[in-house]
Every structure is written in C-alpha cells, then in structure tokens.
Amino acid sequence: MNEAQNDDNNRRVVVSRHGGPEVLTVIRVDPPEPDVGEVRVKVKAAGVSAFDLIYRRWRRLPGSPRVPFALGEDVAGTVDKLGRGVSSLEPGQEVTGGTWAQGVGGGYADYVCLPAKELVPVPVGLDPGEVVSVVVNYLTAHLHLNRIGGVRSGERVLVHGAAGGVGTALLQLGKLAGLEMYGTASRHNHELVSALGATPIDYRTEDFVERIHSLTGDGVDVVIDPVGGARHLWRSYRVLGKGGRLVWLGSAATNEKGLVVGPLSLLITFLLKLVPDGKQVPTCPTLGTFAKAHNEWYRETLTELLALLAAGRIKPVVAERIPLAEAARAHKILERSGHAGKVVLVTGTGPLSPP
C-alpha cells in the first residue's frame, strides 16, 4: 500500500497492539507542534532497526509506552518549524538525528518534533536514505569500536553479524582505523563482507572459534559481538588473544531464541569480567543511554561521520528503501533476516530513490 504524500496530513505508523508485523497501522493525525527548544522535522527517511522489532513484539519491556505508539530510532529530513528559543537551525535546513529523547522512537511518521540539540545539520546533496543509515548504526559502531573497544591500527578484530546494519558500519570504520578484520555472516553475504575488507566466516556451517585460531594462531585483539547469548559470548571470549577485549553490544540472536538472550548475555559478561586472565569485558551502555548523557560527543561524532559520508569515505549499505506506509513489509524483511545493511522507510519519491 503506497499513499500519496499530502503535506496537510501527518501519517504515523503505530504499534496498535503488540504482535507480528501486521500490528503496524498507518494513522493520520495533525502534525505535532514543537515545544520550547524543539524543532519539527519533515521526515524524508526513517531507520528501521532490530530494536523496533523487540518493542513491537513484546509488552512489559523497560520503557515500553502504552499502545498505540510509533517506532523509529533515527530520522533524516528538513526543518519544518522551530519551537520557541531555537536559534541554531533554520526552516528548510537538512538535518538528521536520533529520537531517543522521545523514549522508544517516533521516527515512522511524516513529521516528528525533536529537541534541537538532538539534530545535526547535514551537508548539502546527500541522500537521506544513506544519511539516516549513519545515525544509529555508525554511531553505535564508533562508540563500541573506537571508544569502548579502543582499537589501534594493525589490531585484529572479529566482527559478528558483519553483514548487518551495525556490522557493515563496523567494517567500514574498522577499515579506516587500519584494522585486520574477520566477519561472521551467512554464506550469501560473504562477497559483501570481503568487499568491506574482512575475511568472511560462515557462522552457520563453520566453527568460528576453530576458524579464527587457524587463521590467526593466537587469536584476535577485539571481538565486537552484536549477536549475544551465553554460549555465543563465551565462544567470542575464547577467540581473544592475550589482553583481548570482548565488546557485547546487542542481541541479534533474540530473533531466533527469544528475549532470554538479553539476561543470559548480561549474566555471562558479568561472570567473564571476574576471570583473572588479563582479558577485558568492558561495560557497554546502549547508544541511546550514552548519547543522552554525552550530547557533545553525540553531536561531534555524528558531524564527523556525516563529513566522512560527504567525502565518500564511508558508504552505508542500504538494504531497501520502503514507503512509510509499508513499514510492516520492512519488519518482515528484518525478521526473515538474510538482508545486508540498513532497511529504511521513505516518505516520498524522486530524490530518495537510489542513484
């Protein structure tokens, strides 16, 4: 179902009740009015993430709002209206940013109001689909690879879920950092993982612990693990060499194994911290928590990443651009898995189409 864009209408895609992708419903409401310090953004592209699937599917998660509510962690678009007290941006300016100030999201809409401090100007001429793919995925990759993982040029890194939205961002930033990279992915994604500079490992048919040991001899310096689960994290820990760091940032395994993956991952990382063998398991805040507490870091890093995009030094992998009203189809793609990169919702046509 594709709907014509109508500036008088604000479509919001809401979770009408918890359940499968079919619970996503398009409603029409008046565009929201920006509060003091806020900006109304006319959304051109909104990111779809694994986080959205969890909040759509399960009730009683920390911070979960009452239905109906809109998902969408990141948006790219145009400044439409300024709230009182905002002087840092101008109507018509292209901006992007995360929606964490609103709780679980709100980006699946034609218009969204966000605090001005969460929005960063976008260099002229960029594709909103690529811009929005930078926000959550590349900020997460930067936070966990550079800041928490503390990688240095020449180090060896294993990236799990290497063909995913976060995984492809990790490989592109890892290449810029001069890392020797290995990446787990399904076989059909291996060409992409190789093209992004990593040695691919098929996690479905190969034992990644054995493979890493045979490829490297003494293991890797850092493992970035967005898959999670007690067994998976324990195996990730085993491929670390002396002084290695295990960075756990997500639970993609929830898709197959359910919500239990999160608590089990927390428990095993807590226990692994206690092992006195010189390996480290740093505590990893989520991007939303970290960005809320470190607005300056968020703005500076996102601005740097957008400059890298404008200079052609990073190129987000956009799996698909899907009309806003077909958000349910976007969720089905993520649930089916096997896609590569970021799935993006778009509100219009024309300039948003891939070049």
If one asks whether residue 164 binds ligand NAP (CB under 6 A), the answer comes out as: yes
Q: Examine residue 68 and say whether the peptide bond preceding it is cis (omega within 30 degrees of 0).
A: yes
C-beta of 116 vs 319, nearer to ligand NAP: 319
C-beta of 113 vs 334, nearer to ligand NAP: 334
Chain centre to alpha carbon of residue 300:
18
If one asks whether residue 160 binds ligand NAP (CB under 6 A), the answer comes out as: yes
Instruction: Give the length of the chain.
Output: 355
Among 161, 200, 219, 323, binds ligand NAP (CB under 6 A): 161
Crossing angle of helices 165-176 and 128-142, rounded to 10°: 70
If one asks whether residue 338 binds ligand NAP (CB under 6 A), the answer comes out as: yes
If one asks whether residue 337 binds ligand NAP (CB under 6 A), the answer comes out as: yes
If one asks whether residue 140 binds ligand NAP (CB under 6 A), the answer comes out as: yes
CB of 100 to ligand NAP, least distance (A): 10
Q: Is 148 left (phi over 0), alpha (psi -120 to 50) or beta?
A: alpha
Query: Are 85 and 35 spatial neighbours (Cβ–Cβ below 8 Å)?
Result: no
How many angstroms separate the most distant Cα atoms in the chain?
62
C-beta of 97 vs 250, nearer to ligand NAP: 250
CB of 86 to ligand NAP, least distance (A): 27
If one asks whether residue 105 binds ligand NAP (CB under 6 A), the answer comes out as: no
C-beta of 39 vs 170, nearer to ligand NAP: 170
**Measured CA distances, 200 to 56, 193, 289, 336 (Å):** 32, 6, 31, 21
Hey, which residues between 216 and 235 contact ligand NAP (CB under 6 A)?
226-227
If one asks whether residue 49 binds ligand NAP (CB under 6 A), the answer comes out as: yes
CB of 64 to ligand NAP, least distance (A): 15
If one asks whether residue 166 binds ligand NAP (CB under 6 A), the answer comes out as: yes
Hey, which residues between 248 and 267 contact ligand NAP (CB under 6 A)?
249-253
C-beta of 69 vs 111, nearer to ligand NAP: 69
- Cα(55)–Cα(101) distance, rounded to whole angstroms? 16
If one asks whether residue 104 binds ligand NAP (CB under 6 A), the answer comes out as: no
Which one of the spans 8-16, 35-43, 181-189, 324-332 is the region binding ligand NAP (CB under 6 A)? 181-189
Among 136, 151, 318, 328, binds ligand NAP (CB under 6 A): 136
Binding footprint of ligand NAP, residue count (CB under 6 A): 29
At 263 the three-state DSSP class reads: helix
Which amino acid is residue 317, in one-letter code?
A: V
Residue 233: CB atoms within 10 A of its CB come to: 27
C-beta of 81 vs 339, nearer to ligand NAP: 339
CB of 34 to ligand NAP, least distance (A): 27
Evaluate the CA torsion angle 244, 249, 253, 259 in order and state its sign: positive
CB of 201 to ligand NAP, least distance (A): 9
CB of 199 to ligand NAP, least distance (A): 14
> φ and ψ at 55, to 5 degrees?
-70, -25
Q: Which segments of the chain are extended strands (E)?
A: 10-15, 24-29, 38-48, 69-70, 74-82, 94-98, 111-115, 119-121, 156-159, 180-185, 198-202, 220-225, 240-248, 318-323, 342-346
Residue 70 contacts by C-beta under 8 Å, 6 or more apart in sequence?
Answer: 12, 13, 14, 15, 105, 106, 107, 108, 109
Rule CB under 6 A: which residues touch ligand NAP? 49-51, 136, 140, 160-161, 163-167, 184-186, 189, 203, 226-227, 249-253, 286-287, 334, 337-338
